[in-house]
Amino acid sequence: MTNLFVRKATGLVRSWSVFDAFVYAFFSINLITLGLYSFSQMYYFEGGMINALVISAIFIFFEVVVYAGLIAVMPRSGGDYVWQSRILGGAVGFILAVTGWWFILWLWVPLYGDMFRHIVLVPLLGILGAKDVALWFAGTENGSFVASLITLAIVSVFIALGMKTYARIQKFSFYGGMLGLLIVIVLFLTGSNAAFKSGLDANATALFGAQPGVYDATVQLGTDAGAITPFSGGALLAIFLVMPYMVFFNLWPNWGATLYGEVRGATDFKRNVTGMGWALGATTLLGILLLYSIGRTIGWDFYVQAGAAWWNYVWGYTDVAPALPVWPYPALFAAFLTSNKLIQFVVVALMSLWWFGWCGTVFLSSTRVIFAAAFDRLLPEKVAEVDGRTGTPINALLLMVVPSIIVAFMFSYNIASFQSLTLCSTLVIAVTYLGTTISAIILPYVKPDLYKASPIAKYNILGIPLITVAGVIFGGFLVFLLYQWILDPNALYGIGIKNTSSVIYMLSMYVLAAIIYFGFKSYRKRSGIDMDKVQAEIPAE
Amino acid sequence: MTKIFFATDIHGSDICWNKFLNAGKFYGVDVLILGGDMTGKAVVPFIHQGGNNYKVTLLEQEFSITNEDELTDMKKRVRSRGYYPYLTTPDEIAELEKDRERVHRIFVQEVLKVVQQWMDLADKKLDGTDMKVYCSPGNDDMDEVDEIVRSSRRVLLVEGLVTPLDSHHEMIASGWSNRTPWDTHREEDEDQLKVRYEAMISKLKDPRNAVFNIHVPPYKSGLDEAPELDKDLRPVLAGQALKPVGSTALREVIEKYQPLLSLHGHIHEGRGATRIGRTLCINPGSMYEQGALLGAIVALGKNKIENYVLTTG
């Protein structure tokens, strides 16, 4: 029976495809870039990798519920910035949004650049026979910095092309990347450890000039570096201590959540949960399968030891260079199982699509936040200008690119121990998520009319709104992560109060955000605009 | 200096209309301007189940109403989203499913009833004040709305007119848009729109010092970016693919005449401000479903914009 009559009116569209939402979220928690990069760094934990992968995914599912719930109550509103501004106030909303969606992305640029050289440049150049260039990129500070500059150039081109074109690039990259991953997994599942050992020794020597006996030397270096992380198992506390590192990879299924459009009913809420939830679930399962297949052929211990040998040297804990002079990239290892150069190239090229389909995310969200702040007059009007001919937001892009070059320079040349700040990239965004999560927890109580008129009003657990319950669980998880990162009682993460550089870097971002907010607020007030009133709710009676 | 407050696309939301009427005092402005699309998009049947019992489905959630208080509360909840509650019976619903013309008549009846209530409220609230209120219905608003607005003492219908805002600034206004996939009430081809705009502009004393209050945004202004739809009106690529859907005719006249200010709506997610030459173009966007009144405050100086800000009320 009819329960709603709609008339012809602008904007009455049908629901978007769950699959499209899935692809975006799937690429945001990118198994090959973020996943393999962080797994290789997690060599010194006592908790099982698989256990941490699964348990963290369970907690992050509640993040999916929180964000899907907020989208349902306040759709198309601009995400964290607007949610927090409306519930927690303008200052909190601005400071947490610009630090989490703009400033901290400067640090992500050298990280994207680092992944670019290890996943795309070095293996492809090696297979193509450009050994010296490959090694220059893999092992020098200049190579690291240039990789970041190339990353910036590629991302800027994607911004200039616009979201519509990039969304299509992403979809192509999804299919190509999945094909590459399928080949990698098949190569691992059909290969043998003996074939891998001989393939590694032969190819590492031929492609990258490694000394013979790479396998055994890597085992030794990795063991000396303290490589112990088990594939699975471990005490519960030990597993929980793996998670502050694991979330560098999988905390982001909500990354494109604010784009998913108008939610007009419970069905659309479920579609959001389904799109992001399936992405989280599928990535977790794929992660288990990939790590299992790596362990089966490469050997789990060798995989962890290779990561340890690489990072122990990069982080400066030893002067002994790794026997394998390139980052231990599992897709490259899979390619070593065949001696056919064309197949090697195709496998690594397809796998590089995981990076190309993902890298645009570093600036796309940032430009949106910069625009929103400019429209709210908390930044100069100029920053929201768009070039008339190309449609490129030139000034917003400069606000991303210029500081990123400085941060990338400091990262590549490890000035002020910047290479130890990797997890700050996750911490600052987690603080922003915590602000949003607190907004979600209190939303039904501070905005009861808004909540009651939303499609999620009927979802309760023991009489408590689902969004509140999910928020408390995910918020608790975030508090645990922040406690571990900031106080770091077991000295596992290298940031927080024990790392002066990280404290200064993060605090200066919050201070800068506060200066911009209160500075512009004061400036606007002098010119007749009361920002408190601009963001305050008008009485409706 | 004249301070104006502009809001648009409130789509039947009682909360937003109340806030709009209160915005003048709240923000300390001289003029209130409501862009187009005042009317809501959906009628929600309250299906009588006998006695005080009704069954209502809102946002795909089914509610059982069992008493007068719940009925009042649910009507308020429906109205807060800009929808129209309609008390009916299972037999009437069955008939309506077969009779689209009758559904249309109910729509018109409910829409006009609310517009009349809004005008009555405006007359009551603004009597005794100096506040000027201008309104030009948009492409989603049926023609019958004009007559009711015209009957208001305090809300002036400005569609197709040149309206003096103060001694220096005049405003032209139109709610007509270029073609949409929904074949709405006030849409036409670009060449017809151009004729419409030129007719108004020709009556302006000083186009460069004028305000163009035009519901549709100019093409490729960034204020007109809407999700790209497939042939079934489904957003493609999870809504990430946006495309410009504004009016080329409007862009042409803005580029040609370079008014001081242009005010737009139509694309709810197109909130922003931009410049086309010297013209400041603003689309404050819309979040009417959430009862938030998005707007813009603009201070008009002689031959220049003194200041502006987008608001979230």
Instruction: Fill in the DSSP letter of residue A210.
Output: P
Q: Is the pLDDT of residue B225 over 90?
A: no
Instruction: Tell whether the torsion through CA atoms of A282, A228, A474 and A429 is positive or negative.
Output: negative
pLDDT tens digit sequence for B32-75? 999 999 999 889 999 999 999 999 988 777 889 999 999 999 99
Q: What ipTM did this prediction achieve?
A: 0.89
Q: What value does the CA radius of gyration of chain B take, rounded to a whole number of Å?
A: 20
* Contact across the interface for B59 and A371, Cβ inside 8 Å: no
* Contact across the interface for A371 and B183, Cβ inside 8 Å: no
For strands B225-227 and B242-244, give the pairing. Answer: antiparallel
pLDDT at A337: 96
Rounded-to-integer distance, Cα B239 and Cα A262, Å: 9
φ, ψ for residue B6, nearest 5 deg: -120, 130
Query: Between A and B, how many CB-CB pairs are < 8 A?
Result: 213
* Contact across the interface for B57 and A4, Cβ inside 8 Å: yes
* Contact across the interface for A385 and B94, Cβ inside 8 Å: no
Of A12, A391, A541, the CB nearest to B18: A541
* Contact across the interface for A533 and B96, Cβ inside 8 Å: no
CA atoms within 13 A on the CB side of A2: 22
- In chain B the domains, ranked by start, together with CATH numbers, are 2-39+107-312 (3.60.21.10), 43-99 (no CATH)
Of B104, B268, B293, the CB nearest to A11: B268
Chain B from 262 to 301: CB within 8 A of any A CB: 266, 268-269, 271-275, 287, 289-293, 297, 299
CA distance A235 to chain B (A): 41
For strands B279-283 and B272-276, give the pairing. Answer: antiparallel
pLDDT class for B119, splitting at 50, 70, 90? Answer: very high
User: Are B223 and B274 spatial neighbours (Cβ–Cβ below 8 Å)?
Assistant: yes
What proportion of chain B, given as a percentage, has pLDDT over 70? Answer: 99
Of B41, B233, B287, the CB nearest to A14: B233
pLDDT at A452: 85
pLDDT at A270: 85
The ranges assigned to domains in chain A are 18-39+48-529
Token pair for A140: 């020098």
Q: Is the pLDDT of residue A306 over 60?
A: yes
Q: Is the pLDDT of residue B239 over 70?
A: no
Q: Which residues of A touch B271 (CB under 8 A)?
A: 375
Token pair for B114: 């609310």
CA distance A421 to chain B (A): 32
Mean pLDDT to the nearest integer, A443-472: 92
pLDDT tens digit sequence for B68-115? 999 999 998 889 889 999 999 999 998 988 888 898 899 899 999 999
Token pair for A335: 């390619």
pLDDT at A35: 98
* Contact across the interface for A6 and B41, Cβ inside 8 Å: yes
Provide the CATH number for the domain formed by A18-39+48-529 in this structure: 1.20.1740.10
For strands B2-7 and B294-301, give the pairing. Answer: antiparallel
B44 near A CB under 8 A: yes
pLDDT tens digit sequence for A493-508? 999 999 999 999 999 9
* Contact across the interface for A164 and B182, Cβ inside 8 Å: no
Q: Is the pLDDT of residue A12 over 60?
A: no
Token pair for A423: 């997890």
Rounded-to-integer distance, Cα B249 and Cα B218, Å: 8
pLDDT tens digit sequence for A216-258? 999 999 999 999 999 999 999 999 999 999 999 999 998 876 6
Mean pLDDT to the nearest integer, B229-242: 74
**Least confident range of A128-132, A268-272, B236-240, B284-288:** B236-240
Rounded-to-integer distance, Cα A311 and Cα A58, Å: 29
Instruction: Tell whether the torsion through CA atoms of B12, B18, B21 and B22 is positive or negative.
Output: negative
pLDDT at B202: 97
* Contact across the interface for A12 and B182, Cβ inside 8 Å: yes
* Contact across the interface for A10 and B47, Cβ inside 8 Å: no
B108 near A CB under 8 A: no
- Helix A163-190 crosses helix A266-294 at what angle (to 10 degrees)? 40
pLDDT tens digit sequence for A325-357? 999 999 999 999 998 999 999 999 999 999 999
